[in-house]
Amino acid sequence: MSITLLAIESSCDDTSAAVMRDGILLSNVTASQAVHEMYGGVVPELASRAHQQNIVPVVDAALKQANIEKSELSAIAVTLGPGLMGSLLVGVSFAKGLAASLGIPLIDVNHLHGHILAHFIQTPDDKKEVPPYPFLCLLVSGGNSQIVKVNSHNNFEVLGQTIDDAAGEAIDKCSKVMGLGYPGGPIIDRMARQGNPRAFSFAKPNLPGYDYSFSGLKTSFLYFLRDKVAENPNFIENNKNDLAASLEATIIEILMKKLKKAAQDIGIKHVALAGGVSANSALRKAFQDMEDKGVWKIYIPKFSYTTDNAAMIAMSGHYRYLDGEFCSLDKPAFSRTVF
């Protein structure tokens, strides 16, 4: 009998639904929320309201695109956390209600496992090479920066993580200081391609082990701009491409240094990238360089599976279904980062 899952993701500001049959993705529909742009960051209350508006049409579209009736579903997988509580509650309540009304099991998925397992998503016309276990994964998003040793689909060892800001958060905040739009990542990426990555230098942390820190860099960037703008009010405008390139280069240097050390120390050559910041072209190039030098075999997800999406929740849900890992309807959503 085939396993047909509906997956729902609503942990931050993307409402997404996907349908997967026997581990093959049939649809993945995401509604993003433009409402946050004018605030320079996600406003939790607005995010949960937008999820409420989007969830029914997004789920309906995912089922229609997959050509699947609700009665054919074997289970519903949903992101239980981590994320914004108000946002999570919309997807979780919807999933619980639908599972109860259809009389099918609910599967709780950890959003971070989803990002990593996005590497295993296959579609009917795109069978891609998947990483062999164990592999290392650099998970970098707006809320996370972790180096994870992935021993199997249900065994994740966090080797290092940020002790303060996430990499994406630092990029978004620095972009805001420069007066650029939100989210800053894609804008900084675009501008950095025209700039000199060595034009300016900013503070780099000196933490032991594999942990990251980005708050010192953010403060150093802020004070640097404050002093330069005091001398020349047009400093940011005149140097924005070089600022973007130098900031991006600093963040990538910090990320790659620890990742390379971890890979070398534990002798792993299969290295994957996951999370929203993995869309960054310079970070992808830094990975590609390691493969070109013959040091690593790299795995980079498709753009559509880097930012928040339900396809990755369906993938994790599929493995959990196979393991018989179902969840009771009274299990609550959680906001804190737990692996």
User: Which positions touch ligand KG4 (CB under 6 A)?
Assistant: 12, 141-143, 168, 171-172, 183-186, 189, 275-277, 279-280, 307-308
Min separation Cβ 316 and ligand KG4, Å: 14
Residues 308 and 29 sit within 8 Å (Cβ to Cβ) = no
Closer Cβ to ligand KG4, 63 or 118, answer by number: 118
Min separation Cβ 29 and ligand KG4, Å: 16
**Distance in angstroms between the alpha carbons of the first and the last residue of the chain:** 31
Q: In sequence order, which residues have a C-beta less than 8 Å from that of residue 296 and are 6 or more positions away?
A: 263, 269, 270, 271, 287, 290
Q: Which residue minimizes CB distance to ligand KG4?
A: 276
Min separation Cβ 219 and ligand KG4, Å: 18
Closer Cβ to ligand KG4, 68 or 116, answer by number: 116
Closer Cβ to ligand KG4, 287 or 321, answer by number: 287
Closer Cβ to ligand KG4, 6 or 84, answer by number: 84
Residues 44 and 114 sit within 8 Å (Cβ to Cβ) = no
Beta strand extents in 256-317 (DSSP E only) = 270-274, 297-299
Identity of residue 266: I
Q: Are strands 14-21 and 106-110 parallel, antiparallel or unpaired?
A: unpaired
3-state per-residue secondary structure call for 112-128: HHHHHHHHHCEECCECC
Min separation Cβ 253 and ligand KG4, Å: 14
Beta strand extents in the chain (DSSP E only) = 4-9, 14-21, 24-32, 75-81, 106-110, 135-140, 145-152, 155-161, 270-274, 297-299
Min separation Cβ 83 and ligand KG4, Å: 7
Q: In sequence order, which residues have a C-beta less than 8 Å from that of residue 129 and are 6 or more positions away?
A: 299
Q: CA–CA separation, 150 vs 133, rounded Å?
A: 7
Closer Cβ to ligand KG4, 105 or 184, answer by number: 184
Closer Cβ to ligand KG4, 55 or 274, answer by number: 274
Q: CA–CA separation, 169 vs 138, rounded Å?
A: 16
Min separation Cβ 115 and ligand KG4, Å: 7
Min separation Cβ 138 and ligand KG4, Å: 13
Q: CA–CA separation, 10 vs 31, rounded Å?
A: 10
